[in-house]
């Protein structure tokens, strides 16, 4: 898409799409068929991009500008996805997941856009609850999966936007105070077994709004701008992982681990890989492994990096004042990086111990430091010439020079250098 056609496409950034309620699946069937509901503050870029890409082919790359606009709308849509995939839907979902993972490996920018779009369009929670909730979830998920396979991406995304808009209105209407909102969310976390998170949420002072200039200023101080690091052209052989190591890494994520901006959960992948006996489950694991190896090789389009490797910040107010930024990255990036850490863990003692670093990759390192210091202080008794100075560096990692950081990775951990350089050679989307 170039010239006037591209300009016309980008000019649609203020379009508000009207969604006919009779086009929405059974979860909205109680609405009047003839009514219309307008979705404010929505660009409709996803709808236009889907229509454009489908006219060409799924193998066509979106332009980088179009892709960034498309990804911005997908990531910014607030939806909640189901915690678990119902057993009766796992076989069909495994088949679709395997196909989408393959698309992400071979179809360039549009393949990755489809992958990010899928979770929010298909796996979002149905708006209804009640005694028959599990039956409703199964029925609606199966319906969405079949429609996705038939290429009905446009109406699925329209429905996701409509659900998100309605959920926001209902939440604001039902929770007039911060305490009631925190209590409801804490109850949901407790049901998932995340008791620590539930307790922290009950004592939270809420999230900072986007127009809080003081919070924005503090975030800018904590995350200073860095120029892009120098690109190193001497590329070592990248890490190659196996299906068994990918599955082991997936199992290692904490229970109910947050999904990040893409809303794809680790549990979704585990449900379709381990919860289905069909060949599609093995295809899903194999294609996921191929996609991880593709990322580790550094061959993915650089326009994908800001969306895959960044972790958008949620800013919480502290009770005692100040802010606490929470960053949750997407599962695919966290999975790939977890595999990198596992691969280099055995080399960490040789790299870090000679420099006195015992906090990373050294089994029992921190405990050894604490007990050693305690022993020295006890043995000196009340020696007036002895003092102990404890120093902590403020914002240390965010202040370090990225080029120096990559040089050390290139020297000490060459097998993960390609992935590391690909991740850090882009402007982060916070």
Distances (CA, A) of 135 to 85, 138, 270, 422, 428: 12, 5, 21, 43, 41
Distances (CA, A) of 212 to 21, 205, 216, 291: 36, 14, 6, 39
Q: Does residue 323 sit in helix, strand or coil?
A: strand
Number of C-beta neighbours around residue 379 at 10 A: 9
- Report if pTM > 0.85: no
Q: For the residues of 226-287, what is the DSSP string, one character each?
A: -PPPPPP--PPPPP---HHHHHHHHHTSPTT----TT---HHHHHHHHHS--SHHHHHHHHH
The length of the chain is 430
Task: List the pLDDT tens digit at each of the 430 positions of the chain.
Answer: 433 333 333 333 333 333 333 333 445 544 433 333 444 444 455 666 665 555 544 444 557 777 888 888 888 888 889 988 999 899 999 999 999 999 998 888 888 988 999 999 999 988 665 555 667 888 999 999 999 999 888 889 888 888 887 776 555 555 556 677 777 777 766 766 667 777 777 777 777 777 778 888 888 887 777 788 888 999 999 999 999 999 999 999 987 788 888 899 999 999 999 987 788 999 999 999 999 999 999 999 999 999 998 887 778 787 777 787 878 889 999 999 999 999 999 888 888 888 888 877 788 888 888 888 888 888 877 788 888 888 877 777 777 888 888 999 999 999 999 999 999 988 776 6
Angstrom distance (rounded) from CA 386 to CA 389: 10
Angstrom distance (rounded) from CA 269 to CA 271: 5
């Amino acid at each position: 898409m170039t010239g006037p056609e591209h300009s016309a496409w980008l000019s649609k950034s203020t379009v508000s799409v009207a969604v006919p309620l009779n086009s929405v699946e059974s979860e909205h069937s109680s609405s009047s068929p003839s009514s219309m509901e307008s979705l404010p503050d929505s660009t409709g870029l996803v709808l236009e991009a889907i229509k454009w890409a489908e006219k060409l082919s799924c193998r066509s790359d979106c332009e980088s500008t179009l892709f960034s606009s498309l990804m911005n709308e997908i990531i910014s849509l607030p939806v909640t996805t189901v915690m678990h995939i119902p057993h009766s839907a796992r076989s069909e979902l495994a088949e679709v997941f395997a196909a989408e993972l393959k698309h992400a490996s071979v179809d360039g920018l549009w393949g990755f856009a489809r992958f990010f779009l899928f979770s929010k369009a298909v796996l979002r929670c149905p708006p209804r609850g009640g005694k028959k909730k599990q039956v409703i979830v199964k029925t609606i998920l199966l319906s969405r999966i079949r429609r996705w396979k038939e290429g009905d991406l446009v109406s699925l995304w329209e429905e996701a936007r409509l659900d998100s808009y309605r959920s926001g209105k209902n939440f604001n209407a039902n929770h007039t105070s911060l305490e009631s909102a925190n209590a409801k969310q804490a109850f949901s976390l407790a049901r998932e077994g995340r008791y620590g998170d539930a307790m922290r949420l009950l004592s939270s002072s809420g999230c900072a709004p986007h127009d809080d200039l003081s919070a924005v200023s503090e975030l800018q101080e904590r995350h200073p701008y860095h120029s892009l690091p120098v690109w190193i052209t001497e590329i070592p052989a990248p890490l190659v992982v196996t299906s068994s190591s990918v599955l082991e890494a997936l199992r290692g994520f904490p229970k109910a681990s947050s999904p990040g901006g893409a809303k794809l959960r680790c549990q979704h992948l585990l449900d379709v890989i381990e919860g289905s006996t069909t060949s599609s489950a093995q295809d899903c694991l194999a294609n996921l492994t191929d996609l991880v190896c593709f990322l580790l090789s550094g061959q993915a389009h650089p326009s994908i990096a800001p969306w895959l490797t960044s972790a958008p910040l949620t800013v919480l107010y502290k009770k005692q004042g100040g802010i606490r930024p929470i960053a949750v990255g997407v599962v695919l990036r966290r999975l790939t990086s977890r595999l990198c850490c596992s691969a280099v863990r055995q080399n960490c003692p040789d790299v870090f111990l000679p420099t006195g670093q015992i906090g990373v990759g050294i089994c029992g390192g921190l405990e050894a430091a604490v007990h050693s210091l305690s022993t020295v202080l006890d043995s000196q008794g009340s020696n007036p010439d002895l003092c102990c100075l404890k120093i902590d560096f403020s914002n240390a990692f965010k202040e370090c020079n990225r080029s120096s950081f990559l040089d050390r990775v290139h020297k000490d951990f060459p097998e993960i250098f390609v992935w590391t350089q690909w991740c850090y050679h882009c402007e982060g989307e916070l």
